[in-house]
Chains A and B, each alone.
Chain A
């Protein structure tokens, strides 16, 4: 299995509080992604990174920010958590080279905002 870990695995937080999820990889892959998965919506891209300090928005980026200060870590921050951000969050990594775009996923973080 690819070396990718997410922390925490489960979290319950209150509305209005900031929350940071961490994704750590040991594969030295260039690309890292944050997706959320909700019933009826599938996996939707929040933000992604194509290198250290290089990030871009996905289709559901409102209310989220990210940072990547080193290759192995990609942080997702919910600036002020809302109940609509209750979801399962998956981090993924990929090499990104032409012909090698397979993505490997972390085990997910189950976040509940009450």
Chain B
């Protein structure tokens, strides 16, 4: 089983739609969780951290379910500029490298 697994995608959605991405991780001892965004031919950049209580940043909501080892990202009112690949990232501890999912590609269509 892969350490971090994501929805395969691609997701093609119209502007204004709500879209959700899911991610599962295999190591129950994992401590930190993130969503990164990567634009075409660019480097990944942090979108948001994921906290146990769930967290929201504008149109983006991230949730963590430790019991099910499951992370989600919800994007409301999708914009054309949201088109990118979204990477689920898990860290076992502060001293271990980030482990990436393969990413889910989102295309928002006018």
Q: Is chain B a partner of chain A in the same complex?
A: yes
Question: What residues make up the interface of A, taking CB atoms closer than 8 Å to B?
Answer: 31, 33, 35, 40-45, 48, 50, 58, 90, 92, 94, 96-103, 105-108
A42 touches B87 (CB 8 A): yes
Residue among A33, A43, A44 with the most chain B CB within 10 A? A43
Comparing B12-20, B63-71, B98-106, the segment that makes contact with chain A is B98-106
Interface size bucket, B side?
Answer: 20 to 34
Q: Shortest CB–CB separation between residue A18 and chain B, in angstroms?
A: 25
Q: Shortest CB–CB separation between residue A2 and chain B, in angstroms?
A: 10
Per DSSP, are chain B's interface residues mostly helix, strand or loop, or mixed?
Answer: loop
Which residue in chain A gives the minimum CB-CB distance to B89?
A103
A42-B103, A43-B87 are contacts. A101–B98 as well, Cβ < 8 Å?
A: yes
Set of chain A residues within 8 Å of B9, measured between Cβ atoms: none
Set of chain A residues within 8 Å of B49, measured between Cβ atoms: 102
Alpha-carbon distance between A101 and B87 when the two chains are bound, in angstroms: 16
Set of chain B residues within 8 Å of A45, measured between Cβ atoms: 97, 99
Q: Shortest CB–CB separation between residue B51 and chain A, in angstroms?
A: 11
Alpha-carbon distance between A90 and B44 when the two chains are bound, in angstroms: 9
Other than A101-B98, A108-B43, give 5 A-B pairs with Cβ distance below 8 A.
A33-B97, A33-B98, A40-B102, A42-B100, A45-B99
